Every structure is written in C-alpha cells, then in structure tokens.
Amino acid sequence: MTARDAADEAGAAAAQSVSDTTIDQLRDDALSLARSYGAASAFEVFRRARVLRSEAEHQRGLTKVPVQQQDLLIVAGQACALLSTAAFDLGALDDSARLARSAALYGEMARFDPLRAYATGSLAICAYFTGRPSEAVRHARTALAYAGLGDTARRRLLSIEARAHGHLGDRERATRALVASTRQDSGERDALHDDVGGEFAFNEERLLMSNGTTALLVGDGAGAEVTAQRALDLVASRPPARQSVAVRGKAAADLAAAQVLRGDLDAAAATLEMVWAIPAEQRVAGLLERTGGLRRALTDPAVRETRVAVTLGEQIEEFGRLSAPRQLGTGSRLLAIDP
C-alpha cells in the first residue's frame, strides 16, 4: 500500500505541474518584448504585455511546483512592469503607478529584488511627473537599498534620483546623484536589468539623455547641451536596428531647449527636425514633457516675437496634437520641464 500510495501521490503531483517548455516559451516572450520595446508603439507593447501577463497567471494556476510558481511570478511581474512603462508612455500616469505597484508585488512574492527595484524606480518617475518629487526621492532610495542589484540598476535609480532632486530645485543633491550615476563600474550584474535587458536596461545613451534633462532642470544649460549632444552622437553610432527613437527624440528636444536658452533659435530649429520625424504613435509622454517645456521657453519676451519662435511654437503644438497621449486624452496630466 505504501508503494501504491507513493505512486498515486507522485502521479497527482505530476498532474499539478506544467511543461517546462511552456515556461521557457513565456520567459522568451518576456525577453523578446522587453528587447523590442524601443521599436514598437506603446499601444502594441501594452497589448502584448497584457496577453503575456494573463497567460503567465493562467499557467501559474495549473502548477503546484514551487520553482515553476516562482518562474511564472517573475514572468508575470516583468509583463506588469512593461505594462506600467507602456501606460506611462501613453500618459496614463495613475494606471502606470498602479501597474508598477503590482510589478513590485510580483517581485516581492517571487523574492526577486531586481524586479522590485525596477518597479519602485518606475513609481519614482510617476511621482515626479505628477508633482511629488520628494516622494520620488524616497522611492529611488528605497529601490537602491534592495539586494542583488547590478551596476545598470543602480545607474538607472541614481539617474532617477537626480531628476527628482532637479524637480525640487536642489542643484547640489541633483549633481551628487548625477555624478554617482556615471560611476557605477563595479562589474556587478543582475538577472533583469542586464540578462533580460532591453527596456529594463539603462545603457549609456539613456543615462546621458536623462542626465541632460536633469542639467536643464537645475539651470545648467551648457551642461545640458553637451550631455544631450553626446547622447545623440552615441545613438547615431549604433547600428540602425539598435538606434532608440525615444532616446533620440528626448535628447534632441533637450538639446533644442538648451540652444534656445543661449539664444540660438536657428540651431534649435535644425535640431528639432529629429523630433518632427518621430511617428505619432511613438510620441510618448516623456517627449511631450520636453517639447512642452520648450514651448514655454519660446514665449520668453526676448524671443517670442521672432519668426523662428512663432514657427517652432506652432510646430510643437501640432506635434503634440497628433501624439498618442493627446489622442487618448491623457496628455494634459503631464508636467513640463521649466528650464
């Protein structure tokens, strides 16, 4: 009877598991979606990530094997983190924060701190975009305290913290965090930001682009111009398939803002040609934030009556009108950089 009972229990246990091949496929789907994010529209990413999360949860309900449960929690959490990013890009900031909290919970349940750190960093971004920069600083510091993070994760979180201090107008702390973000070179890696990478990564051009924005926030127009140009040069050096449309657009908008600050509107107009070329479905919230700030800079009494300023202002308005967030009616929530 003992042998028969053992066989029956083993059979029942086997029936309460799913194929490892199925889990491998879901893991590959998450990796593919993360790595293709920069080439797809936020609408498409949101649709695919929603399907992926649903399938991972369905399979999790079919297995009682702990290691499979953990693997599926991680896949569902990655999908939720990408849903949060897509929602943010579409200007749905409340939904983005809600999804980021869900992704952090998945990471907590799976005991996978890199996912918790990524999601908490996303909460920080949502916080300073909705006028709560002090909360953003707290989120970034909480995320930095998680164990098992590599250089890429810490680079992203320090850059986010620098932006939050920039929104607070704290130039000293912003500069300190910005410098720290460029000095993460221990060689440590983690299984999300480095091994999966893609949207979860934070490569050099993204770091430069983000830090250029921080420089604008603290009034360092010259530093912003140098940093944004370096980001653009680095994007251009990549093979065409690896050139990020989002990074190019945001860095170009920041470069144009810096050029306006020093009074060179003709240079700004030339730089903005890179922005106008971005398809409507890829004109995401972070880019609209930057062009909105540039629009206000063009109303300065010193330049607003010039032909170039008037033309650029009209182009910025038309650019935003056709964007995905504005078409959804979510773009009005976005804060603008005040150079």
pLDDT given at position 329: 63
pLDDT given at position 337: 31
129 and 238 in a single domain? The answer is no
Q: Note the pLDDT tens digit of each residue in 293-329.
A: 999 999 999 898 999 999 999 999 999 988 877 776 6
Residue 146 CA to residue 104 CA, distance in Å, equals 12
pLDDT given at position 253: 97
Residue 209, in any domain of the structure: no
- AA identity, residue 69: Q
Residue 239, in any domain of the structure: yes
pLDDT per position in the chain (339 positions), as tens?
A: 565 555 444 445 555 899 999 999 999 999 999 999 988 889 999 999 999 999 999 999 999 999 999 999 999 999 999 999 999 999 999 999 999 999 999 999 999 999 999 999 999 999 999 999 999 999 999 999 999 999 999 999 999 999 999 999 999 999 999 999 999 999 999 999 999 999 999 999 999 999 999 999 999 999 999 999 999 999 999 998 888 999 999 999 999 999 999 999 999 999 999 999 999 989 999 999 999 999 999 999 989 899 999 999 999 999 998 887 777 666 544 443 332
195 and 272 in a single domain? The answer is no
111 and 154 in a single domain? The answer is yes
- We report the CATH number of the domain holding residue 75 as 1.25.40.10
Residue 154, in any domain of the structure: yes
Q: Note the pLDDT tens digit of each residue in 137-155.
A: 999 999 999 999 999 999 9
Residue 226, in any domain of the structure: yes
In order, the DSSP letters of 32-82 are HHHHHGGGS-HHHHHHHHHHHHHHHHHHHTT---HHHHHHHHHHHHHHHHH
119 and 250 in a single domain? The answer is no
Asked if 244 and 199 count as a contact pair (C-beta separation under 8 A), the reply is no
**Domain end marker among 172, 202, 232:** 202
198 and 258 in a single domain? The answer is no
Residue 3, in any domain of the structure: no
pLDDT given at position 3: 55
189 and 225 in a single domain? The answer is no
Q: What angle do CA 122, 125, 127 make, to 5 degrees?
A: 110
Contacts of 195 (CB under 8 A, 6+ apart): 189
Domain count, the chain: 2
193 and 283 in a single domain? The answer is no
193 and 252 in a single domain? The answer is no
pTM for the complete prediction?
0.90
Residue 200 CA to residue 155 CA, distance in Å, equals 12
Distance between terminal CA atoms of the chain?
A: 79
What's phi and psi for 219, nearest 5 deg? 85, 15
Tell me the residue range of the domain where 18 lies: 10-202
Residue 109, in any domain of the structure: yes
